[in-house]
């Protein structure tokens, strides 16, 4: 059984809104709902754990009930850091789950292909994360902003989510991080902390984390493009149907 945990208990400080960014509207619905609808369309995932801030949990539970076709979903309370939120989610995954995906609620543009890439690789390697090659040159700098060195770009990848793991491995990594007071910036770093290999799989440049208002502009553009191509394909099938109709009528008049 595959369970997806969605940390959604942040404050969204960099977004600069007066509320948690996962509730910000993107096209026709809040970011969190986009994310859950995308995962609900993936038949490989069985159920969800959504991690919400204490003061938002009740509202989130109500909203989830209203999403048509959503997978079975539990809501749990998050912590002060993303890692603590994921830990709380992990403590309440169903006993039958053997693979856990962790996906930022703030990444609404996730595609089924990327989810599948991660799941396929978890089955082989136990730890797999979606990522994309870095396109800019990255510099390491010191405290005075002087460049120390330039790592070879071919070795640099930008981490995304989903990050997927066998449940036992992820539990072990989270417990070890807790007892070592180790705080990582993603789930994979906890696996690295216990010296288990982590495999990278191809993510998607569109699978951005909505962090600041500019990200919303990008996301709106992507969704707008999808909507346009949907209308176009509906339009072209309507045109070709009409054309067929016309041909049949012409044929009949000739006969
Ligand atoms: N998150 C969480 N619990 C926290 C912090 C973050 O569940 N204590 C979640 C966020 O809701 C988000 C994901 O982890 O879906 C990625 O975190 P980030 O993009 O940093 O979101 P925020 O922490 O909300 O944003 P900011 O850092 O700008 O305050
Ligand atoms: Mg944060």
The atom number, within ligand 1, closest to the CA of 15 reads 28
Q: Could you report the per-residue pLDDT of 71-102, keeping only the tens digit for each?
A: 999 999 999 999 999 999 999 999 999 999 99
Task: Band the pLDDT of 28: cuts 50, 70, 90.
Answer: confident
Q: What is the pLDDT of residue 121?
A: 98
pLDDT at 238: 67
pLDDT at 255 over 60: no
* Ligand that comes closest to the CA of residue 106: 1
pLDDT tens digits along 217-236: 999 999 987 767 766 676 67
Task: Look at residues 2, 15, 19, 93 and name the one whose alpha carbon lies nearest to residue 51.
Answer: 93
Please report, rounded to a whole number, the percentage of residues in the chain having pLDDT higher than 70. Answer: 89
Ligand 1 atom closest to Cα of residue 80: 8
Q: How far is the CA of 165 from the centre of ligand 1 (A)?
A: 20
Average pLDDT over residues 30-56: 97
Ligand at shortest distance from the CA of 78: 1
Mean per-residue pLDDT for 17-45? 95
Asked whether 106 lines ligand 1 (CB < 6 A), one says: yes
Give the CA dihedral 115, 117, 118, 123, nearest 10 degrees: 120
Fold of 2-209: Spore Coat Polysaccharide Biosynthesis Protein SpsA; Chain A (3.90.550)
CB 198 within 8 A of CB 192: yes
In short, whether 85's Cβ falls inside 6 Å of ligand 1 is yes
Strand order in the sheet with 99-102: 73-77, 47-52, 2-7, 99-102, 157-166, 127-133, 199-202
Is 77 a pocket residue for ligand 1 (Cβ < 6 Å)?
no
Which residue has a Cα nearest atom 6 of ligand 1?
10
Q: Is the peptide bond before 43 cis (omega within 30 degrees of 0)?
A: no
Atom of ligand 1 nearest to the CA of 212: 28
pLDDT digits (tens, 9 = 90+) for 126-154: 999 999 999 999 999 999 999 999 999 99
162 C-alpha to center of ligand 2: Å? 16
Q: Which residues surround ligand 2, an ion (CB under 5 A)?
A: 10
Contact 90, 80 (CB under 8 A): no
Mutate to test the pocket of ligand 1, among 5, 6, 7, 10 (most ligand atoms within 8 A of CB): 10
The answer to whether residue 253 scores a pLDDT higher than 90 is no
Mean pLDDT of the chain: 93
What residue ranges do the domains of the chain occupy?
A: 2-209, 212-255
């Amino acid at each position: 059984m595959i369970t997806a945990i969605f940390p959604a208990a942040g404050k969204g400080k960099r977004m600069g809104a007066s509320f948690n960014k996962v509730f910000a509207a993107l096209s026709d619905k809040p970011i969190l709902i986009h994310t859950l609808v995308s995962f609900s369309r993936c038949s490989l995932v069985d159920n969800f754990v959504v991690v919400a801030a204490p003061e938002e949990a009740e509202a989130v539970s109500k909203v989830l009930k209203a999403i048509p076709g959503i997978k079975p979903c539990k809501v749990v309370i998050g912590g002060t850091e993303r890692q603590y939120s994921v830990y709380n989610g992990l403590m309440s995954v169903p006993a039958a789950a053997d693979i856990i995906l962790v996906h930022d609620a703030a990444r609404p543009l996730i595609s089924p292909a990327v989810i599948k890439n991660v799941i396929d690789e978890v089955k082989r390697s136990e730890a797999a994360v979606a990522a994309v090659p870095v396109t800019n040159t990255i510099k390491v700098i010191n405290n005075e902003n002087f460049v120390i060195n330039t790592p070879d770009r071919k070795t640099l990848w930008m981490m995304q989510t989903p990050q997927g793991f066998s449940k036992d491995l992820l539990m072990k990594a989270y417990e070890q991080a807790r007892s070592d007071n180790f705080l990582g910036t993603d789930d994979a770093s906890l696996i690295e902390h216990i010296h288990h290999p982590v495999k990278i799989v191809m993510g998607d440049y569109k699978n951005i984390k909505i962090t600041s208002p500019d990200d919303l502009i990008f996301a709106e553009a992507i969704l707008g493009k999808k909507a346009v191509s949907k209308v176009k394909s509906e339009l072209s099938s309507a045109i070709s149907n009409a054309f067929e109709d016309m041909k049949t009528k012409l044929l009949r008049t000739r006969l």
